[in-house]
Chain A
Amino acid sequence: MIDSVVIPLLKILIVLNAVLVAVTFMVLLERKVIAWTQVRLGPMRVGPHGILQPIADVLKLMIKEDITPVKADRWVFTMSPMLVLVPALIMFAVIPFGPTTSLFGREVTLYITDLNVGLLYIVSVTSIGVYGIILAGWSSNSKYPLLAGLRASAQLISYEVAVTMALVSMIVSAGTLSMVGIVNAQASQGVWYLFIQPVAFFIFFVGGLAETNRAPFDMPEAEQELTGGFHTEYSGMRVALFFLAEYANMIVLASVATTLFLGGWLRPFPNVEALAFLGIIPSWCWFLLKTFVFLYIFIWIRATLPRYRYDQLMRIGWKVLIPLAIANVVVSGILKVMF
Chain B
Amino acid sequence: MAETITFYMLGGLILLFAVLVVSTRNTVHGIIFLVIDFLVVALLYASMNSMFVAAIQVLVYAGGIVVLYLFVVMLVNHKRPPEEYADPNRRNWLGAAMTAAVLGELVIIGAYASLRPAAVSASATKVGYVKETAMVLYTDYIIPFELVSILLLVAMVGAIILARREW
Chain B residues with CB under 8 A of A150: 71, 74-75
Closest to B63 in A: A127
CB A187 to nearest CB in B, in angstroms, measures 21
Q: Are A149 and B74 touching (Cβ within 8 A)?
A: yes
Partner of B63, one of A117, A128, A135, A146: A128
Interface residues of chain B: helix, strand, loop or mixed (majority): helix
Q: Known A127-B59, A157-B68; judge A138-B130 contact (CB<8 A).
A: no
User: How many pairs, one residue from A and one from B, have CB atoms within 8 Å of each other in the complex?
Assistant: 71
Q: Are B74 and A146 touching (Cβ within 8 A)?
A: yes
Chain B residues with CB under 8 A of A153: 67, 70-71
Q: Are B67 and A131 touching (Cβ within 8 A)?
A: yes
B57-76 interface with A by 8 A CB criterion: 58-59, 62-64, 67-68, 70-71, 74-75
Chain A residues with CB under 8 A of B70: 131, 134-135, 153
A97-134 interface with B by 8 A CB criterion: 115-117, 120-121, 123-128, 130-131, 134
Q: Are A117 and B32 touching (Cβ within 8 A)?
A: no
Chain A residues with CB under 8 A of B130: 116-117, 177
Q: Are B51 and A124 touching (Cβ within 8 A)?
A: no
Q: How far is the CA of A121 from the CA of B58 in the complex (A)?
A: 9
Q: Are A131 and B35 touching (Cβ within 8 A)?
A: yes
**Chain A residue total in the interface (Cβ 8 A):** 27
B56 beta carbon closer than 8 Å to chain A: yes
B7 beta carbon closer than 8 Å to chain A: no
Q: How far is the CA of A232 from the CA of B21 in the complex (A)?
A: 29
Q: Are B74 and A127 touching (Cβ within 8 A)?
A: no
Closest to B62 in A: A128
A30 beta carbon closer than 8 Å to chain B: no
Chain A residues with CB under 8 A of B20: none
Query: 7 tightest CB-CB pairs across the interface, nearest first?
Result: A127-B63, A124-B59, A124-B58, A120-B55, A117-B51, A117-B55, A124-B55
List residues of chain B with CB under 8 Å of any chain A CB.
26, 28-29, 32, 35, 39, 51-52, 55-56, 58-59, 62-64, 67-68, 70-71, 74-75, 129-130
Taking A116-B129, A150-B71 as given, write out 16 further A-B residue pairs in contact, using a Cβ cutoff of 8 Å, ordered by the A residue number: A115-B51, A116-B52, A117-B51, A120-B56, A120-B59, A123-B59, A124-B59, A126-B63, A127-B58, A130-B63, A131-B35, A131-B67, A134-B74, A135-B70, A153-B70, A157-B68
A-B contact pairs, 11 of them (CB 8 A): A73-B26, A117-B55, A123-B55, A124-B59, A125-B58, A127-B62, A128-B39, A131-B35, A134-B71, A135-B70, A154-B71
